[in-house]
A and B are shown apart, each in its own frame.
Chain A
Amino acid sequence: MSEEKKLFKVTIDNITIDVEPGTTVLNAARQIGGDVTPPAMCYYSKLQGSGGKCRTCLVEVAAGSTADPRPMPKLVASCRTNVMDGMIVKNITSEKVIDARNGVVEFLLINHPLDCPICDQAGECDLQDLGYSHGKEGTRYEFKRRTFEREDIGPYIQLHMTRCILCYRCTYVADQITNTRVHGILDRGDHAEISTYISKAIDNDFSGNMIDVCPVGALTDKTFRFKNRVWFTKPVDAHRDCSTCCGKVTLWQRGDEVLRVTARKDQWNEVQNYDGKPGWICNTCRFDKKKTSDWVIDGLTNISRHSVISQGKYPGLVRPHEMLADVMGGREPKLLMDIHDVSEVNDPSVDLSLIEGPATSKDFEKK
């Protein structure tokens, strides 16, 4: 019998887990899953050297290891801190962490345009999720927000720096999965911007993956811009034989029309691995194959119930338990006006998931 590998015992928010040496705290927390996992805006497990920049994944290390149980003096970035045996980490159980994280979210949002209603990323945006979970409803920032001109980098991608949170993910993509490095960060501080050198076009087979790794709507697919809201489209897993990439994608359809093609994402909104390699897809698959006939459909994409994208799409889902009656002791709430008395739209007796295509007013007509 081969010698068993020694595993490190690490405790995150009082949950103990055994992980392999060399695992980061964030990945250990991801193995536990749930609320214990710190949010990550810049870390991307498939990109080397990413992480450590956004500071949303800060955690408190209450004990460094069994050998050296001293706590770490500062909060550490969990995405770049490796676990030690006997390490005790506090994430949501530490007030310091919550406070710092709320601060970071505020910092990320003060210069963000908050143009979600017209942003293509809305509905699948990491910053939106983060804002919902940690943001405040009001802002304390009273100054003009920083803006940039929109810029086309290459024929397929538009860069909207105003929305960027400078996570550096796209520069790592350009460095690591494409051959030539043509873009990076210009300037520094709060006027730093992602750009190609003097507005050069990014022209290589895998450039489209920058759109997939972007946690916000700074890099958008020009073939999809303003075509539709993501939650109106239906994600379907599909594949085709591709000579340059793995060919495994998600099609975002409306009816039979393919509006958008992206790589398949896992639960952390990262590109899935196939045969141990990240399933990056090439530009031909992403931008040119926009017919259903180009693809072999594998079935509906599994979308988290919490995502807005899943709304009204999957029949037979367990619906959340209605709490109102329980709370009110069985009484119905007294409404000033029931919207369904005056409006026919969104009649609760109509199951949206059973309707072919998006709902229209016809579906709600009383027969």
Chain B
Amino acid sequence: MGRKLLLDKINVENIRLYDVYRREGGYRSVEKALKTMSPEAVTEEVKKSGLRGRGGAGFPTGMKWGFLAKPAGVPRYLVVNADESEPGTFKDRYLMEFIPHLLIEGMITSSFAIGSNRSYIYIRGEFAWIVDILEQAIAEAKNNGWLGKNILGSGFDCEIYVQRGAGAYICGEETALLESLEGKRGNPRIKPPFPAVKGLWDCPTVVNNVETIAAVVPIINDGGEEYAKIGIGKSTGTKLISACGNINRQGVYEIDMTISVEEFIYSDEYCGGIPNNRKLKACIPGGSSVPILPANLLLTTAKGEKRMMTYESLADGGFQTGSMMGSGGFIVLDDRQCVIRHTFTLARFYRHESCGQCSPCREGTGWMEKILWNIETGKGKMSDIDLLWDIQRKIEGNTICPLGDAAAWPVAAAIRHFRDEFEWHITNPDDAQRRNYGLAGYADPIKIATPA
């Protein structure tokens, strides 16, 4: 049984309410930080913990806070990115819905470290009911003196506001989020300048994921070094994984990053295996935008090592034979699933969500979707596969924000690992309408070439 830091109290009845949360030891980190620590000490503690951003990119949080420009007389802001819209990722929703005070507590501590007197939660528009939950939690916290002027007599003021988005995936990109928060059209900004220098209303801003901010609570409570002891290497602490797809037990799991992918899928503690004893075909380990992996590369790396649920191990082999931890949206596909259909669905999503600002993403995502639809419906040509490859290559890296990359990677990985399935779809268009290509050799162990 892995250690739980964020979700250990999730099953306590009414943990959503302040009284219960406080009784269970809530807001200890705020007390500790504001009464006994300096803002620099809090940042130092987060640096020591090795906490990495849980939103997708995995950038060290302490370092991010350290980069924050601190010119005199200019306010600084903490913005929590709760615009969780990645297909397959639903960990933040779970956290905010069931234990909102954990986020509020983390935000107060983090705001203290950063020096933000006004902090914002930018929440996905579709999470309408969670806005009410959060606002109730904020009101409760304020009534009990955790927010407002001069918190706990420390001289630190902090207010938290919740802002609802209007239903755009792109607003999960930090600069688009800031634009949207300012009341403008959610177009990503051109970086540099980075938000740490010029963010919200041109002031230095830190944008962090919900889970990252929540993880600050156990770090301050137990100390950064204690937190860093959990996990392997640079993947410290615990990570929320939202598992879905063809598994017996879908849901949000908190793992300490020491277990293997195989254990995560098949153990009863977590996903509980694949229903009806079917075989694993493929998996997207970190939310829809990271590369898909066939079963053989998922369970073992190209070097023949066991793949672990850590940032490094999942990324082992680069994009050739690896993937990414991403935002922790773990999507499992069994042998009945069609990779073409699946890739088409993602391409449609990215076309729909492209902001339309820069040309490769605006035009390329739609083009890929149309070609994939042709292949899926049996009208594809062999040359379409190379064309798709060429389009994704020309989108990737040439766009303003990472949405272009996110749209290109799933297509690239699908072609890289499942090219024979694409070809089967094209050469057997009638068959492809009636049945699936099946498992082929995707689950067979990888042959490792013996060195000469």
B363 and A52 contacting across the interface, CB-CB below 8 Å: no
* CB of B185 within 8 Å of the partner chain: yes
A residues in contact with B370, CB < 8 Å: 143
A87 CB, min distance to chain B CBs, angstroms: 14
B residues in contact with A108, CB < 8 Å: 359, 363
Given contacts A52-B190, A166-B357, contact A100 B365 (CB under 8 A): no
* CB of A141 within 8 Å of the partner chain: yes
A75 and B367 contacting across the interface, CB-CB below 8 Å: no
Q: Which of A132-157 contact B (CB under 8 A)?
A: 140-141, 143
A53 and B354 contacting across the interface, CB-CB below 8 Å: no
B185 and A184 contacting across the interface, CB-CB below 8 Å: yes
* CB of A357 within 8 Å of the partner chain: no
A55 and B362 contacting across the interface, CB-CB below 8 Å: no
* CB of A5 within 8 Å of the partner chain: no
B399 and A189 contacting across the interface, CB-CB below 8 Å: no
B398 and A75 contacting across the interface, CB-CB below 8 Å: yes
* CB of B275 within 8 Å of the partner chain: no
* CB of B366 within 8 Å of the partner chain: yes
A107 and B354 contacting across the interface, CB-CB below 8 Å: no
Q: Which of A55, A99, A106 contacts B358 (CB 8 A)?
A: A55
Interface size on A, residues (CB 8 A): 34
A141–B354 alpha-carbon span in the complex (Å): 19
| Range, interface on chain B | 20 to 34
Q: Which of B190, B355, B360, B390 contacts A188 (CB 8 A)?
A: B355
A99–B168 alpha-carbon span in the complex (Å): 31
A residues in contact with B356, CB < 8 Å: 166, 185, 187-192
Given contacts A103-B394, A190-B365, contact A80 B190 (CB under 8 A): yes
* CB of A111 within 8 Å of the partner chain: yes
* CB of B353 within 8 Å of the partner chain: yes
* CB of A263 within 8 Å of the partner chain: no
A166–B168 alpha-carbon span in the complex (Å): 19
* CB of A110 within 8 Å of the partner chain: yes
Q: Which of B363-412 contact A (CB under 8 A)?
A: 363-367, 370, 387, 390, 393-394, 397-400
A138 CB, min distance to chain B CBs, angstroms: 13
B358 and A189 contacting across the interface, CB-CB below 8 Å: no
B358 and A188 contacting across the interface, CB-CB below 8 Å: no
* CB of B64 within 8 Å of the partner chain: no
A190 and B170 contacting across the interface, CB-CB below 8 Å: no
Given contacts A52-B190, A140-B387, A189-B355, contact A100 B398 (CB under 8 A): yes
* CB of A77 within 8 Å of the partner chain: yes
A260 CB, min distance to chain B CBs, angstroms: 29
A104–B355 alpha-carbon span in the complex (Å): 17
Given contacts A54-B358, A166-B356, A190-B354, contact A74 B363 (CB under 8 A): no
Q: Which of B185, B351, B363, B397 contacts A107 (CB 8 A)?
A: B363
* CB of B352 within 8 Å of the partner chain: yes
In chain B, what residue has the closest Cβ to A111?
Answer: B363
Most B CB contacts (10 A, CB to CB) among A140, A166, A184, A189 go to A189
* CB of A174 within 8 Å of the partner chain: no
A185–B185 alpha-carbon span in the complex (Å): 9
* CB of A58 within 8 Å of the partner chain: yes
A55–B387 alpha-carbon span in the complex (Å): 20
A85 CB, min distance to chain B CBs, angstroms: 17
Given contacts A75-B397, A77-B190, contact A104 B365 (CB under 8 A): no
A190 and B366 contacting across the interface, CB-CB below 8 Å: yes
* CB of A165 within 8 Å of the partner chain: yes
A residues in contact with B365, CB < 8 Å: 189-190
A111–B362 alpha-carbon span in the complex (Å): 10
Q: Beyond A55-B358, A107-B360, list 12 extra A-B contacts (CB 8 Å).
A: A77-B190, A100-B394, A104-B360, A107-B359, A110-B367, A166-B357, A185-B356, A188-B353, A188-B354, A190-B354, A190-B362, A191-B356
What are 20 sample pairs from A and B whose C-beta atoms fall under 8 A apart?
A51-B190, A74-B397, A75-B397, A80-B190, A99-B394, A100-B398, A104-B398, A107-B362, A107-B364, A110-B363, A141-B367, A168-B357, A184-B185, A188-B168, A189-B352, A189-B362, A190-B356, A190-B365, A190-B366, A191-B356
Would you list the 10 A-B pairs with minimal beta carbon distance, nearest first? A103-B394, A192-B356, A107-B363, A189-B354, A52-B190, A190-B366, A189-B356, A74-B397, A143-B370, A107-B359
Interface residues of A (CB under 8 A from B): 51-56, 58, 74-75, 77, 80, 99-100, 103-104, 106-108, 110-111, 140-141, 143, 165-166, 168, 184-185, 187-192
